[in-house]
Amino acid sequence: MGFLNDLWGKKQKEKQEDGPDAANVRNLSGSFVEHAMDHKQLASAFPRSNIVVDMPINSKGLSQSDAKVRLELDGPNALAPPKEISNLMLFLKQFMNAFWILQVGAGVLSLITYFINTEEQQNLYLAILLFGVVIIMCVMQFFEEKKALAVIRGFSGLLPAKCTVIREGEQINVEAHELVVGDLVYVKTGIRVPADLRIIHCSDLKLEASSITGESEPVEYTAEAVPETISVFESCNVAFNGSFCVDGEGIGIVIKTGEKTIIGQIATLTTDQSNTQSTLDIEVHRFVKIVAVAALGLGLVVFIIGNSMNGWKGSGVLDVLVKGFLVAIVSTIPEGLPTTVSSELTIIAHRMAKKNVYMKKLNVVDAFGATTVVASDKTGTLTQNNMTVTDLWYDSKYLNGLPEISHKMMKTLTDAQKELPLNCLEYPLPDLLELMCMCNKATIEGGEAKKPRKRGETVLSILSGRRDTNMFKPSGKVQPLGQDNPRPAFESQDSVESAKEKAFIGSPSEVALLRYVDDVCSVNEIRDKYNIIFEIPFNSKRKYHVMIVREHASYAFAGDQVAYTVMLKGAPEVVIRRCNTVAKHDGGVPLDEDMMMEFQDAYDHFGNNGRRVIGQDHFHRPRRHQILLGR
């Protein structure tokens, strides 16, 4: 009986009131109090962590013996793997579909009819055909569901393998599953947070937690306590397990590990949900009941009428049973319907898989098909939060993908040059690429691209999709704005895909901009040209990011007339208010009413097609001129 219960996936629903534990699981932030504690309270709550209240960076951390005791007490810092179904059970479950049970029943009746009268060979052939169809379709469904489960298991890569901790005053590397509550963990650019941490010290720390909070942009973290009325999700001093550090560094004390972390509680919520029937399952079961009742009713009527006319004679009863009752039932069952439905579900699942949509069960396809609108502000949890520049608008032109590289430009490249010089491109594209590269804190891991070096014209870029596989083969062309082609249609496939496999570190939007520049020219060459003098970081209130850079002497213009460049990127409606000219191929033109309408038309076009739009501008100032930045 236990085997059958597992096979059917039926679980008895326990009707009981939620206890305190269940309430805490549903209220994910209910068990967190550390975000409201200051350093003194944290030192008191975690005495064995040896936190130095006045100088947290000098904290000693746990001793090795304390860490070992806590590990034995609390268990490893790992999420319990969900109960995985074996391949055999997954395969056998495919046969528990009501359609297949109906079809197997028809096959069994056909087989019984054949054994009663072996001269009727067609009954044997029909039984073999029905059994064969059921087996083939179940095998197809088995492999489809197995593929989806394999993709879902790959999400475990979100969790880090190793981390740096402070124990007994020394930095050591440990496996992430060996972390315990009270450990002091170093967080730095490019790593994932290995547990839920209360930040006690940080320097320009920015974390991207889209997989948990759904916010696609990184958030700046602090070590300061917040009022108890503020949720842990809004405190900006608790780094959640699985978050990614895009900038800065910090030290945090482990406050939750394993299944007690936010991501662990989310996993518990999703895995503990009871199985509910899909709309398709409900309709199929209802249809099968109707067909079964109709078949039995028709067969019984034929059996009674046939034997009544035959006088209920012994040999006649058997003949009516074979040719009347069983045949009536088999003929009433729509043997082709289950095959048709399963084939359609499999085809749809294949199409959705190509768009990176995977379903653990094929029967939920019907529910997806009935969905017309998905409204959500948590884009980071619905996507990989991996953005890419797909389109540019400049000089009243639309550029889809990478810029066109003419044969004349190719001839200017020497054997030593592996990247395209900026002076080969049409103005103002070189200025745009420099702006995308410099007003940008993203980096390329491994030293392949330098960070913008600090001291001691309006364009739009659209972020989404993939990159081209060849930097000299753009997938789109520059299209001038005109009456014949006022706005280009977006391609069904994403535009740009990099030929270079590099690890980019930074916020998703800045990584997209830097990756685009790297696909066209040399990031290092641009960043070697300037030093950063001043910066105003982006925030949601200002909605812009400012960099003031200075050219090196070797790059300065004649007469030393241009020394500083102010670069700004942000929300297009904010950026455009700070402009009075627009960059064109023949120089700047005034930002008059017609130009503003053209700008707004391009902005609306990109926004209406679901693109994230970024505006960028810059201006030059001589060395001795003052620069006033308004808010």
pLDDT digits (tens, 9 = 90+) for 466-481: 333 333 333 344 444 4
Residue 225 above 90 pLDDT? Answer: yes
Q: Specify whether the CB–CB gap between 8 and 96 falls below 8 A.
A: yes
DSSP string, 363-407: GGHHHHHT------S-HHHHS-----EEEEEETTEEEESSPP--H
Residue 81 burial by Cβ neighbours in a 10 Å radius (0-12, 13-18, 19+): exposed
Give the other-Cβ count within 10 Å of 604's Cβ.
12
* 625 against 387, higher pLDDT: 387
Distances in Å between the Cα of 16 and the Cα atoms of 13, 273, 543, 572 are 9, 15, 49, 54
Q: Is the pLDDT of residue 320 over 80?
A: no
The per-residue pLDDT for 555 is 53
∠ Cα 109 115 119 (to 5°): 115
**pLDDT 10s digits, 545-593:** 999 998 876 555 555 555 788 999 999 999 999 888 888 888 888 889 9
Confidence class of residue 24 from pLDDT cuts 50, 70 and 90? very low
Measure CA 409 to chain center.
38
pLDDT in tens, 158-204: 555 788 899 999 989 899 889 999 999 999 887 889 999 999 999 88
Contact of 167 with 179, CB cutoff 8 Å:
no
Sequence-ordered list of residues with C-beta below 8 angstroms from that of 339, at least 6 positions apart, any chain? 133, 137
Pairing relation of β-strands 244-256 and 389-394?
A: unpaired
Measured CA to CA, the distance from residue 177 to residue 194 in angstroms comes to 8
Report how far apart the first and last C-alpha atoms of the chain are (Å, whole number). 72
* β-bridge partners, 391: 400, 462
User: Is 377 noted as a catalytic residue in this protein?
Assistant: yes
Question: What local confidence, expressed as pLDDT, does residue 345 receive?
Answer: 78
CA 470 to chain centre: 25
Helix, strand and coil in the chain, % to nearest 5: 45, 20, 40
Domain boundaries, the chain: 30-75+161-271, 87-154+277-341, 386-621
Q: 374 in the Ramachandran plot: left (φ > 0), alpha (ψ -120 to 50) or beta? A: beta
Mean pLDDT, residues 282-292 = 81
Q: What pTM was computed for the model? A: 0.57
Residue 59 and residue 200: Cα distance in Å, rounded?
Answer: 10
Amino acid at 489: A
From 18, 74, 204, 377, active-site residue: 377
Candidate from 94-98, 252-256, 386-390 with smallest mean pLDDT? 94-98
Most confident of the following: 42-46, 112-116, 370-374, 534-538: 42-46
d(CA 611, CA 379) in angstroms, rounded, equals: 13
Task: Count CB-CB contacts under 10 A for residue 165.
Answer: 23
386-621 is classed in which CATH architecture? 3-Layer(aba) Sandwich (3.40)
DSSP state of 272: S
- Residue in 48, 50, 46 with CA at minimum distance from that of residue 37: 46
The model's confidence at residue 542, banded by pLDDT at 50, 70 and 90, is confident
pLDDT at 479: 46
Whether residue 271 has pLDDT greater than 90: no
Q: How far apart are CA 464 and CA 281, in angstroms?
A: 36
What pLDDT score was predicted for residue 560? 52
Percent of the chain exceeding pLDDT 90 equals 19
Share of the chain above pLDDT 70, in %: 71
Confidence of residue 380 (pLDDT cuts 50, 70, 90): low
The whole-angstrom separation of Cα 227 and Cα 207 is: 21
Strand partners, 186: 164, 251
Mean pLDDT of the chain: 75
CB 519 within 8 A of CB 496: yes
The three-class DSSP label of residue 23 is helix
pLDDT tens for 48-84 read 999 999 999 999 999 999 999 999 999 999 877 666 7
Tell me the C-alpha to C-alpha distance, in Å, between residue 473 and each of 404, 462, 467, 497, 602: 8, 19, 11, 10, 25
Q: Which residues pair with 397 in a beta bridge?
A: 394, 480
Contact 268, 259 (CB under 8 A): yes
- The pLDDT confidence band at residue 624, using thresholds 50, 70 and 90, is low
Diameter over CA atoms, the chain: 120
pLDDT score, position 420 = 61
Q: What is the DSSP letter of 177?
A: G
Architecture of domain 30-75+161-271: Distorted Sandwich (2.70)
Q: Calculate the CA 181 to chain-centre distance.
A: 29
Q: How high is the pLDDT of residue 234? A: 87
Tell me which DSSP letter residue 552 carries.
-
449-458 pLDDT, tens digit each: 555 555 444 4
Average pLDDT over residues 12-27: 43
Beta bridge partners of 172: 165
* Per-residue tokens: 46: 């975690």
The structure tokens listed for 55 are 């100088």
pLDDT on residue 280: 77
At 452, the amino acid letter reads P
The crossing angle, in degrees rounded to 10, of helices 121-153 and 98-116 is 160
